[in-house]
Amino acid sequence: MFSMSLCVYVLKNHGLYVPPPRKNRLFAKQNDRTMQKYLVEFIGTFFLVLTAILTSNNPDITPLAPLAIGAMYMAMIYAGGHISGGHFNPAVTLAVRIRGKIEINDTIMYMVAQIFGGVIAASIGAYLHGSGGGAAIAFHSNPDPFASLLSEFLGTLALAYVVLNVATTESNAGNSHYGLAIGFTVMAATCGLGAISGGAFNPAVCIGATVAGMFSLGDIWIYLVGALAGGAAAASVFLAAYGRGD
């Protein structure tokens, strides 16, 4: 021990000593939170889809469904955004990936957690709705597939664009309004476009709604293509306007 200390002393005096690398505590902390992030994405998407299923199929409160869905999205963002970023939407995750703010491994696992959460929520939501003795699950048809596709594209574009601006930029870091902005975007898009396409704007929601019997399996491509294209377009617009520097 003494000889080791003497060697270090001599090397330091001659400028030859290189200290061992220190542990990156932040990196270790992020690794420790890996599973937490996936769990948060599952939980947030679960309650978002559950709210959408139950409020959209209750005639007494259906007019308030956009408000309830937007409010739940906002609440889940404030609850888990500091851990996972609060995506709860594969299209948003895709936009953030194109933006360069999430690694590919996390991108895949986020999407898996979100879709799994949506499917579980839809199954439970359909069961709860049926147990209440109410009306049958409301089925949404798409007589004009292009109009529905465009609606899903525009709604998701608006949502992902807002997320990228309020939740991923240095100039907006630490703000307290990001959850409100995102939740109100969902509410406004659902009010404006929901009657046309059903207002999913989220692949996890559309898959869950299909499981619950609200959407036709044959129409699922409308929601998947529309939402993912909208997320990609939002990232492209953001990068064109702001670049990757902010």
Q: What is the pLDDT of residues 54-110, one digit of tens each?
A: 999 988 888 999 999 999 999 999 999 999 999 999 999 999 999 999 999 999 999
Of 177 and 30, the structure prediction assigns the larger pLDDT to 177
pLDDT at 114 over 70: yes
Is residue 2 very low, low, confident or very high in pLDDT (cuts 50, 70, 90)? Answer: very low
Has residue 37 got a pLDDT over 90? yes
Q: How do residues 190-205 score in pLDDT, each as one tens digit? A: 999 999 999 999 999 9
Residue 116 is assigned to a structural domain of this protein: yes
Q: Using a pLDDT cut of 90, give the percent of the chain over it.
A: 73
Question: Does 15 fall in a domain?
Answer: no
The answer to whether residue 6 sits within a structural domain is: no
Residue at 42 is within a domain: yes
Q: Is residue 17 part of a domain?
A: no
Continuous segment of H or E residues that includes residue 161: helix 145-167
- Asked if residue 2 is part of any domain, the answer here is no
Question: Cα(18)–Cα(8) distance, rounded to whole angstroms?
Answer: 9
Q: What is the pLDDT of residues 127-166, one digit of tens each?
A: 998 886 666 788 899 999 999 999 999 999 999 999 999 9
Cβ-Cβ contacts under 8 Å for 15 (sequence gap 6 or more) = none
| Residue 11 confidence (pLDDT) | 47
The angle at the Cα of 151, spanning 203 to 237, to the nearest 5 degrees, equals: 80
Q: What residues make up the domain containing 144?
A: 26-242
Spatial CB neighbours of 240, under 8 Å, sequence gap ≥ 6: none
d(CA 92, CA 110): 10
Asked if the structure places residue 127 within a domain, the reply is yes
- In this structure, how many other beta carbons lie within 10 angstroms of the beta carbon of residue 17? 12
Please give the model's pTM, rounded to 2 decimal places. 0.85
In a domain, 154, yes or no: yes
User: Where residue 220 sits, what CATH number does that domain have?
Assistant: 1.20.1080.10
Q: How many domains does the chain have?
A: 1
CA separation for the pair 238, 224 (Å, rounded): 21
